[in-house]
Structure formats: structure tokens, C-alpha cells
Amino acid sequence: MKTTAIRTLIATAALASIAALPTVAQAQTSIKFNGLFDLGVSSMKAPGAASTTASIDSGNMSTSWIGFSGSEELGNGLTAILAAEQFIRNDTAQAGRFTNDGLFTRNAYLGLKSATLGTATIGRNTTPLFVSTLVFNAFGDSFGVSPAIRHYFLGPVTGDSGWNDSVQYSSPNFSGLSVNLINAQAEGSNGINWGGNAMYFSGALALSYAMQDVKKDVSPTVPTDDTHTWQVGGSFDLKSVKFYGQIGDVKNNTTGTDNKISGLGAKIALGTNAAILAQWGMLESTPLNGNAIARRTLSIGYDRNLGKHTDVYAAWMRDTLDQATSDGGGVALGIRHAF
């Protein structure tokens, strides 16, 4: 309880300290409507499952979303910021990533930003663990074909990629180093969440360490497994090819399962507008008093920019699971447009 109180106090104090700065009137205000559409044709199969036919799908490479973001310059280097961003399934014109997904579940926050003190936001915030995971793999935030995203966030990690009732603080950049901290209050459920990452960028080298602890229930009647996650990631950019690496562990304290996750990837430039993407990952789950079960996923893709905001992609994935009766995987072809 003392540790929890200290973390909450730090995040709240960060917001309060920024708010205490003097301000001036007549500041500039802006509101933007933005988002990303990802649509394509795919055929995907889980290990051991029956084969599927091709279908039109949304979000194979990036989850589609629309939303608003805004800012107001308050003076003396202080800016008020907000975001309200909604995931969508634009193949069926339905809101959310899945049935009964909430409104504005990508981000829904209000906060203050200072060049010298950092940024603090309150509401629903994307977690630092999710950011570290997407930055250090070749397929980014793809729930469709990224081994890293699938092994963490479609696997043992609990608590979603964004947290409700949260306070998040992001430090200024100190010679390439930045720190992000997040705390989600219980708000009537059975526990709290906390997490953070430290990221370092210097020339060709980038590094990250992320960790989080999840106890907060989706609702008071829907229990969430108590999990603790840590992850180390890195990349090295030679311009013609960029290499990625990740290693991490997700310990499920509720079930006693230990999940070790590792991955390697590369992005090979084909001129200035195209690239070949490759990412391999392994999730090794060891249940309490049981034998380890390994899931190995390999994805290879091609991405080409057609313009500043539009690209087309193709991806192939092979997904194997110990003890499964057949291999999984699939193919996806699609187009994305960000605005």
C-alpha cells in the first residue's frame, strides 16, 4: 500500500507542478481531426484450427481509428492538450476493435505539457509497454502479423494496451533519454496498475526497458489475472537495413504461469519508398508444475509508400504451437491511409 501510494503521489504531483506554472492570456488554440484507415484482404488460421477463406478485414497492419486532438498554448512554455480517439472496424462500419469495445479506447485524455517539466495526462492512456513493443519490432503495432504484438498483447499480458482511470507522466528528452510512468487507479475494482519505460535514442542505436504490474479489473465483476511484465528492446539502424531485438517475461501470478518472450527482426530498405519486413518471435509458456509449451511465429512482409500518407503492404505469416494438430498462419494484402 505504501509503494502504491508513493507511485500515485509522484504522478499526481507531476501534473500539479506543471499546472502551477504562471500563464498568459490570449493563447493559440487548435483542434485536429485525424486517424488511420487500414483495409485489405486476408486469410488467417490459428494453429490447430480449420482453414479459413479469404475475407475483407480492417487493421491487419495497423488498427484503424479516428479521433480528435487539441491543444491550447497557455504561455510560458505551457500547453494544454487533449485527445479522444476511437478504434473502428471500417470493413463493417462498426465501432471498436471488437464487439462491446468501449468508446474512445485508443486514447481519451486531458493534460498539460511543458518543454522543461514534461507532459502529464489524465484519462485513458496508451501504456508505455505497448509503445516499447511496437517501436522495437519490424511490423510496428500490427495485431494481425507482428509476432511481438501477438505474443504479448494477444498472449499472456493482461490489462489491454491502454488503461482507464490513469495518470501518465512523460519526461522531457535528456540527450536522447526519456522516461514514461503510468498509474491506473482501482476505481471500485480489485486493484491498481502501474508501469513505465525508459527509452534511449542516439544516432543508429535505440534501447528500451519497460515493465508493468496489472491487477485492475476490467469491471468489478470481471476479474483480471495478476501479471507482472518486463521487456528489454533495442534497434540498430544502418539505413539500408534496420535490426530489431526484444526479450521479456510475463509472469501470471494468478495461474502460476511463466511466459518468456523473445524476438528478432529486420527492415530492409528498397530505395526510399519500399522495404522488406521480417520478424521472428517465440513465446514459451511454462504452467505451474507443467512442461513448457512454445509458440513460434515468423512474418515476412513488403511495404511500399505510394505517397506521404498512403502505403500498400503484403504479409505472410507462419504460426506454430507445440502439441497443435496443424500449423497456423496466413497472408494479408492491404492499403493504409493516415490523415
Average pLDDT taken over every residue of the chain: 92
pLDDT, residue 24, reads: 45
Measuring CA to CA, which residue among 18, 22, 123 is closest to residue 69? 123
219-238 pLDDT per residue, tens:
667 788 999 999 999 999 99
Instruction: Please report how many Cα atoms fall inside a 13 Å half-sphere around the Cα of residue 272, on the Cβ side.
Output: 2
Q: Give the Å distances, CA to CA, from 300 to 194, 261, 262.
A: 34, 19, 17
Tens digit of pLDDT for each residue in 100-142? Answer: 999 999 999 999 999 999 999 999 999 999 999 999 999 999 9
Cα distances (Å, whole numbers) of residue 332 to 95, 289, 292, 302, 313: 22, 39, 30, 11, 8
Region of 45 on the Ramachandran plot (φ > 0 left; ψ -120 to 50 alpha; else beta): beta
Q: Is this model's pTM higher than 0.85 or not?
A: yes
| Cell 518472450, residue located | 261
Sign of the CA dihedral running 319, 324, 327, 328 = negative
> Which CATH superfamily does the domain covering 34-65+123-164+172-338 fall into?
Porin (2.40.160.10)
Please, which pLDDT band fits residue 28 given cuts at 50, 70 and 90?
confident
Give residue-wise pLDDT tens across range 266-293. 999 999 999 999 999 999 999 988 899 9
Give pLDDT, residue 23: 45
Q: Reply yes or no on whether the pLDDT at 245 is more than 60.
A: yes
pLDDT single digits (tens) 160-188: 999 999 999 999 999 999 999 999 998 87
pLDDT over 70, % of the chain:
91
The reported pLDDT for the residue numbered 222 is 76
CA distance 245 to 237: 12
Query: Does residue 339 sit in helix, strand or coil?
Result: coil
Give mean pLDDT, residues 65-91: 96
Q: What are the grid coordinates assigned to 251, written together? A: 509472469
- Taking residue 91's Cβ as centre, other Cβ atoms within 10 Å add up to 16
The grid cell for 115 is 518543454
> In degrees rounded to 5, what are phi and psi of residue 25?
-85, 180
| pLDDT (0 to 100) of residue 147 | 98
What is the predicted pLDDT for the residue at 290? 87
Q: Are 27 and 72 contacting, i.e. CB atoms less than 8 angstroms apart?
A: yes
